[in-house]
């Protein structure tokens, strides 16, 4: 019998959201033979401090940066044409997302939580939540065959405290995948080596690329180390004595609108 080919879809508002927030897990699953797909719901065309650079030219750059990142995971990185900073949880976007998810038919969907400083992020979570149940409703978007199962849905990590702090339901050691996350982030040159340095760290924009990447690696390393410390109890509970050898983790919260993951499914993600 042919082995089942699992599929994972990570959905963000912008081109550098899905890969830098779930890239360790995505690379781990890609290495296990999963098909990896990423999606940016906006065109990213306002990711700059310079209004003259914003617009279709930047959207084009970001599409290419996303494609380069997708290649690291052996998958596609799709970008919608919705204008950056203008994403709404509209009926049109909801139905577009229902059709998109149905066509790919993932076993696992990952996105950000609905509490977030950025309206695009909030609306991304809302759209994924709004689409979730309707994926399985035959009379909704009947032109695209409905799903006969509900995918497992996870939220990637954030530090927002209200209305409740993030829960680390799923812990993924990523010591072996940190370099892929850094490489993925480095694909987004227009962001990590330009826009995201503005306004306080602009001196880094003129550093040699090698030094910029090293700086990025240290930053991501510190972040994943912090998760390891912050969720030490969860790491030890799941990995026991082996936790000693784990330095970096990604953590995910289970979205209760998705399928409740079985112990076997969780093991596919964590072990």
Cα distance between residue 68 and residue 70, in whole Å: 5
**Binder to Zn ion among 14, 28, 46, 94 (CB under 5 A)?**
14
SS3 229: helix
In the bound state, the residue with its beta carbon closest to Zn ion is 14
How many helices and strands in the chain, by DSSP H and E? 9, 7
The stretch among 13-21, 127-135, 244-252, 259-267 that binds Zn ion (CB under 5 A) is: 13-21
CB 13 to Zn ion: min, Å: 5
Output 38 or 135, the one with its CB closest to Zn ion: 38
Residue 112 region, left (φ>0) first, then alpha (ψ -120 to 50), else beta?
beta
**Binder to Zn ion among 9, 11, 13, 59 (CB under 5 A)?**
13
Cα distance between residue 148 and residue 67, in whole Å: 30
Contact 253, 160 (CB under 8 A): no
The stretch among 6-14, 50-58, 102-110, 175-183 that binds Zn ion (CB under 5 A) is: 6-14
Binding mask 15-44 for Zn ion (x = CB under 5 A): --x---------------------------
Output 13 or 79, the one with its CB closest to Zn ion: 13
| Complete DSSP assignment for 135-147 | TT-TTSSTTSPPP
Closest residue by Cα to residue 40 from 59, 12, 67: 12
Of residues 231 through 270, those in contact with Zn ion by CB under 5 A are none
Point out which residues bind Zn ion (CB under 5 A): 13-14, 17
């Amino acid at each position: 019998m042919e082995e089942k080919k699992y599929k994972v879809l990570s959905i963000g508002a912008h081109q550098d959201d899905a890969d830098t927030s779930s890239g360790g897990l995505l690379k781990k699953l890609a290495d296990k033979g999963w098909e990896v797909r990423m999606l940016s719901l906006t065109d990213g065309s306002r990711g700059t401090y310079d209004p003259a650079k914003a617009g279709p030219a930047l959207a084009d750059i970001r599409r290419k940066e996303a494609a380069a990142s997708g290649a690291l995971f052996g998958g596609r990185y799709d970008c919608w044409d919705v204008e950056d900073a203008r994403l709404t949880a509209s009926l049109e976007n909801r139905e577009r997302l229902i059709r998109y998810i149905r066509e790919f038919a993932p076993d696992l969907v990952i996105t950000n939580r609905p509490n977030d400083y950025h309206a695009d992020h909030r609306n991304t979570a809302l759209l994924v939540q709004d689409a979730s149940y309707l994926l399985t409703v035959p009379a909704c978007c009947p032109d695209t065959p409905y799903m006969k199962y509900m995918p497992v849905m996870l939220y990637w990590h954030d530090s927002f405290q209200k209305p409740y702090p993030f829960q680390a339901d799923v812990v993924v050691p990523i010591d072996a995948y940190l370099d892929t996350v850094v490489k993925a982030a480095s694909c987004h040159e227009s962001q990590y080596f330009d826009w995201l340095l503005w306004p306080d760290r602009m001196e880094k924009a003129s550093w040699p690329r090698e030094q910029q990447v090293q700086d990025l690696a240290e930053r991501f390393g510190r972040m994943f180390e912090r998760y390891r410390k912050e969720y030490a109890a969860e790491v030890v509970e799941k990995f026991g004595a082996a936790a000693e050898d784990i330095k970096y983790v990604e953590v995910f919260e289970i979205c209760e609108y998705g399928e409740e993951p079985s112990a076997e499914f969780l093991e596919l993600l964590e072990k």
